[in-house]
Amino acid sequence: HNKETTDGSAAKVPAIAQPLAEKPSDIASNIAFHARYSPHFSPLKFDPEQAYYATADSVRDLLIHRWNETFLHFHKVDPKQTYYLSMEYLQGRALTNAIGNLGLSGAYADALKKLGYELEEIAEKEKDAALGNGGLGRLASCFLDSMATLNLPAWGYGLRYRYGLFKQLISKEGQEEVAEDWLEKFSPWEVVRHDVLYPVRFFGHVEVSPTGSRKWVGGEVIQALAYDVPIPGYNTKNTISLRLWEAKSSAKDFNLFEFNEGKYESASQLHSKAQQICAVLYPGDATEDGKILRLKQQFFLCSASLQDIIMRFKERREGNMAWNWSDFPSKVAVQLNDTHPTLAIPELMRLLMDGEELGWDEAWDVTTRTVAYTNHTVLPEALEKWPQAVMYKLLPRHMEIIEEIDKRFMAMIRSTFSSMESKLSDMQILDSSNPQKPVVRMANLCVVSSHKVNGVAELHSDILKADLFANYFSIWPAKFQNKTNGVTPRRWIKFCSPELSDIITKWLKTDGWITNLDLLSGLRQFADNDKLHAEWASAKMANKHRLAQYVLHVTGVSIDPNSLFDIQIKRIHEYKRQLLNILGTVYRYKKLKEMSIEERKKTTPRTVMLGGKAFATYTNAKRIVKLVNDVGSVVNNDPEINNYLKVIFIPNYNVSVAELLIPGSELSQHISTAGMEASGTSNMKFSLNGCLIIGTLDGANVEIRQEIGEDNFFLFGAKADEVAKLRKDRENGLFKPDPRFEEAKQFIRGGAFGSYDYSALLDSLEGNSGYGRADYFLVGYDFPSYIEAQSRVDEAYKDRKRWLKMSILSTAGSGKFSSDRTISQYANEIWGIKACPVP
């Protein structure tokens, strides 16, 4: 292997004779080899868990081989490279995906059979890597898959959280959060790089030398240690890296003397401070200590990653005397995934000025040509604002730099765009309008310092230009772009729904659609074909059976695969309006109760499934989780209604659960208040899997509807540009609630679903909502059109042929929503990078 990859650096590594197994018999012996010689368990066992680890170890051999080749190839070619900085990655499980991307699913399944196992059985032993919250983190993971598949020179950087997203337990009280220990045993997918270690400083002060140069000194210094996760591309040798930083202290920080004196805590103070940094994803930030910890996490990611990027830039220029710092942006693109990694901006400035001795103008030129920013939300509470006092304390040099950026920005506006002077207070980075609590607006810092700013769906990008960033757009129109999100077709159909994928390949007579999703449009010509209908229906039914078994396993409730499977899975948030869904379901239940048996028999039986986690301190979201569960307990145990309606709360929703639910879905709900969901990505996964959408004109729904055709989308609700007026009308007492809406709420208030007092939740729809305005999310306004859209769903489902045609057309129209398309656009229109395939 060494021979193929030999260049200057590979020659230092001795050659090896171990074969890389790709045939079932070789794979089986390789797995057996790992079971014996990579002993993670006591030697006599070969139970499913041990089989999983041994299998993963054997896959890892293949990945490391390709990974080294990719790294060396990039090193030799030295292309411009993208670095994706994200506080979140929702990787899920890796085994099935890695085997699939390597094209070895069949070979591994056969090999495991020889050893007495089914691939699916052992794959279930893997814990989800849930280093993220929701859509933003899963998008980052889909992007990595596409970057590798497209052979792009690109890496991800993130944090190696000890505990990722919490595990959700459901009891009578509702949701309970417990720490999810994804590293309980260990992860076979990460490789610690003991030689990749950078110091990251916090606190301290700025020292000024007699020549006026400034240096940040003192404070505490924590080490960032790299853990690399290989990301294999599909059907290519290219295997890229997700580099996750872990915080640690060094031996010199351990005070042996104090320890021996019995002062155990102070002896290892820095050790425990280091451990706090990567302990959990999004630690609570209500207190000042919480804020400092969050900022520490963000800065830790930015500083370690930039030191690493600069090191690599210099390493690749070793021996070349002619390079210049102004070359940096032609070799490096840094993408900020939301505002969480904003500190990369002042940190790059600091490293260039204080470390490499560039002047302000040169450092600013390099920084602004390197960094680009993606906005993922317009929700005010998600646009980060950090107290200036906290920033001064933790990052004194960075605050100096931010102040200087702000000062120069204001001077530029006054001199070049004097008509914007009145807007300056909104555009400024430092907001001192409340002298008690001056803050740094991270989004403004991003917009001012990035060469490109993009939203994640057309509607969202338009809102950024017209509203959130309108002032900036008026001075820098060329800075703003749209990059509609996408999802990887490998994980989200090929591997999670092999039956449907085989049918698509058979009818299109090619599997080229897996990397060129636009080819799915070729299914349109067969949308009325009875034979395809029969195959399509049978694949869906197989997936529904698999899902029904899972539901029985995790909830104890048996559901009927002949009923319409209606699913809403996403983080629980008032703007996502799970409450609208459950109120609609309550209304349906009440109407069923009022019907005669004969009438009931004419209805469309439904299984309504909801899943998602509520942020631990988000009270109304937790009440919604409880309400869904309470409704389920009553409905599912009502013998009259049982055959016509079931309501299921799927506990502990995560990536692996989504891989089961989405292929088995027939209707999915994407019903956010228009203008509030930036994009959504599960909507794309559902329609790709032939599931129909009931939804509002929000986020990427708008484009999905365009692509699959208006007739194949159950639309309802207010439009984004009507929302502001509707809220005003409501404040002015002009809103008249629909009697059906009142009926549903009254039914709950009357105790139909138990004795828990839901008035605080329901009151948010009438009076004092958390936002200080009544029914801010317009549940009441949209309720009647939602109920009517649901009736159209019921009717459509009764017509099997029509429904199947719509389902096929959904898949056929999903070509645009591949993350391969999204990433190609980022590569061409923002990063300026080109494919660099390993020969």
Q: Which residues contact 504 (CB under 8 A, 6 or more apart)?
A: 493, 513, 520, 523, 811
For residues 495 and 502, is the Cβ–Cβ distance under 8 A? no
| Structure tokens given for 589 | 């239940």
Spatial distance between the Cα atoms of 760 and 769, rounded to a whole number of angstroms: 9
Sheet of strand 564-569: strand arrangement: 645-650, 606-611, 564-569, 667-670, 692-695, 713-715
Please report, as residue ranges, which positions from 526 to 555 form the binding site for ligand 9GP (by CB under 6 A): none
Binding span for ligand 9GP by CB under 6 A among 19-27, 322-330, 376-384, 788-796: 376-384
Tokens 């919490």 locate to 166
Binding span for ligand 9GP by CB under 6 A among 132-140, 217-225, 516-524, 714-722: 132-140
Out of 75, 273, 369, 571, which one is annotated catalytic? 571
Which residue's CB is nearer to ligand 9GP, number 164 or number 632? 164
Out of 576, 646, 670, 705, which one is annotated catalytic? 576
Spatial distance between the Cα atoms of 465 and 569, rounded to a whole number of angstroms: 30
Regarding 657 and contact with ligand 9GP (CB under 6 A), the answer is: no
Q: To the nearest 10°, the Cα dihedral for 196, 201, 202, 203?
A: 170
Which residue's CB is nearer to ligand 9GP, number 102 or number 614? 614
Regarding 338 and contact with ligand 9GP (CB under 6 A), the answer is: yes
Residue 342 is among the residues annotated as catalytic for this protein: no
Backbone φ and ψ for 605, nearest 5 degrees, come out as -65, 140
Binding span for ligand 9GP by CB under 6 A among 180-188, 394-402, 409-417, 673-681: 673-681
Using alpha carbons, select from 628, 656, 643 the residue that is nearest to residue 550. 656
> Whole-number minimum distance, CB 94 to ligand 9GP, in Å?
21
For residues 196 and 226, is the Cβ–Cβ distance under 8 A? yes
> Whole-number minimum distance, CB 60 to ligand 9GP, in Å?
29
The residues facing 381 across adjacent strands are none
Regarding 670 and contact with ligand 9GP (CB under 6 A), the answer is: no
Regarding 149 and contact with ligand 9GP (CB under 6 A), the answer is: no
Residue 385 is among the residues annotated as catalytic for this protein: no
Spatial distance between the Cα atoms of 561 and 565, rounded to a whole number of angstroms: 8
Residue 570 is among the residues annotated as catalytic for this protein: yes
Residue 602 is among the residues annotated as catalytic for this protein: no
First-to-last CA distance in the chain? 13
For residues 226 and 245, is the Cβ–Cβ distance under 8 A? yes
Please report, as residue ranges, which positions from 608 to 647 form the binding site for ligand 9GP (by CB under 6 A): none
Regarding 680 and contact with ligand 9GP (CB under 6 A), the answer is: yes
For residues 823 and 143, is the Cβ–Cβ distance under 8 A? yes
| Structure tokens given for 713 | 């989308």
Binding span for ligand 9GP by CB under 6 A among 129-137, 401-409, 582-590, 709-717: 129-137
Binding span for ligand 9GP by CB under 6 A among 342-350, 356-364, 606-614, 671-679: 671-679
Spatial distance between the Cα atoms of 24 and 106, rounded to a whole number of angstroms: 8
Out of 342, 681, 696, 811, which one is annotated catalytic? 681
> Whole-number minimum distance, CB 576 to ligand 9GP, in Å?
9
Spatial distance between the Cα atoms of 817 and 660, rounded to a whole number of angstroms: 20
Spatial distance between the Cα atoms of 347 and 299, rounded to a whole number of angstroms: 8
Sign of CA dihedral 384, 390, 392, 395: negative
Regarding 678 and contact with ligand 9GP (CB under 6 A), the answer is: yes
Residue 376 is among the residues annotated as catalytic for this protein: yes
Distant-in-sequence contacts of 362-366, Cβ < 8 A, 24+ apart: 362/325, 362/326, 364/405, 364/408, 365/326, 366/325, 366/326, 366/328, 366/329
Binding span for ligand 9GP by CB under 6 A among 118-126, 185-193, 494-502, 675-683: 675-683
Binding span for ligand 9GP by CB under 6 A among 115-123, 135-143, 204-212, 736-744: 135-143
> Whole-number minimum distance, CB 552 to ligand 9GP, in Å?
31
Exactly one of 24, 156, 664, 699 binds ligand 9GP (CB under 6 A); which one? 699
Exactly one of 97, 151, 485, 687 binds ligand 9GP (CB under 6 A); which one? 485
Regarding 377 and contact with ligand 9GP (CB under 6 A), the answer is: yes
Radius of gyration over every alpha carbon of the chain, rounded to an integer in angstroms: 28
> Whole-number minimum distance, CB 805 to ligand 9GP, in Å?
28
Out of 398, 570, 613, 626, which one is annotated catalytic? 570
Q: Which residues contact 563 (CB under 8 A, 6 or more apart)?
A: 604, 605, 606, 607, 646
Regarding 681 and contact with ligand 9GP (CB under 6 A), the answer is: yes
Task: Tell me how many residues contact ligand 9GP (CB under 6 A).
Answer: 16
> Whole-number minimum distance, CB 405 to ligand 9GP, in Å?
23
Regarding 382 and contact with ligand 9GP (CB under 6 A), the answer is: yes
Binding span for ligand 9GP by CB under 6 A among 396-404, 578-586, 677-685, 722-730: 677-685
Regarding 335 and contact with ligand 9GP (CB under 6 A), the answer is: no
Backbone φ and ψ for 336, nearest 5 degrees, come out as -95, 115
Amino acid present at 213: S
Regarding 383 and contact with ligand 9GP (CB under 6 A), the answer is: no
Which residue's CB is nearer to ligand 9GP, number 589 or number 653? 653
Regarding 677 and contact with ligand 9GP (CB under 6 A), the answer is: yes
Which residue's CB is nearer to ligand 9GP, number 141 or number 367? 141
> Whole-number minimum distance, CB 135 to ligand 9GP, in Å?
3
Exactly one of 24, 92, 100, 134 binds ligand 9GP (CB under 6 A); which one? 134
> Whole-number minimum distance, CB 168 to ligand 9GP, in Å?
18
Exactly one of 481, 679, 687, 712 binds ligand 9GP (CB under 6 A); which one? 679
Which residue's CB is nearer to ligand 9GP, number 131 or number 586? 131
Please report, as residue ranges, which positions from 398 to 457 form the binding site for ligand 9GP (by CB under 6 A): 456
Which residue's CB is nearer to ligand 9GP, number 50 or number 86? 86
Spatial distance between the Cα atoms of 819 and 684, rounded to a whole number of angstroms: 10
Q: Which residues contact 267 (CB under 8 A, 6 or more apart)?
A: 254, 255, 256, 257, 258, 259
Which residue's CB is nearer to ligand 9GP, number 304 or number 678? 678
Regarding 90 and contact with ligand 9GP (CB under 6 A), the answer is: no
Binding span for ligand 9GP by CB under 6 A among 38-46, 59-67, 672-680, 706-714: 672-680
Exactly one of 100, 135, 174, 813 binds ligand 9GP (CB under 6 A); which one? 135
Spatial distance between the Cα atoms of 387 and 294, rounded to a whole number of angstroms: 12
Which residue's CB is nearer to ligand 9GP, number 346 or number 699? 699
HEC per residue, 599-650: HHHCCCCEEEEEECCCCCCCHHHHHHHHHHHHHHHHHHCCCCCCCCEEEEEE
Burial of 625 (0-12, 13-18, 19+ CB in 10 A): buried
Residue 408 is among the residues annotated as catalytic for this protein: no
At 216, is the secondary structure helix, strand, or coil? strand
For residues 27 and 104, is the Cβ–Cβ distance under 8 A? yes
Out of 162, 491, 685, 816, which one is annotated catalytic? 685
Tokens 């897996």 locate to 514
Helix (H) or strand (E) holding 800: helix 800-812
At 279, is the secondary structure helix, strand, or coil? coil
Which residue's CB is nearer to ligand 9GP, number 363 or number 443? 443
> Whole-number minimum distance, CB 380 to ligand 9GP, in Å?
12
Which whole-number Å values give the CA distances from 535 to 117, 523, 526, 708, in the listed order?
29, 13, 12, 21
Exactly one of 136, 539, 726, 778 binds ligand 9GP (CB under 6 A); which one? 136
Catalytic residues: 376, 570-571, 576, 681, 685
| Residues engaged in binding ligand 9GP (CB under 6 A) | 134-136, 139, 338, 376-377, 382, 456, 485, 677-681, 699
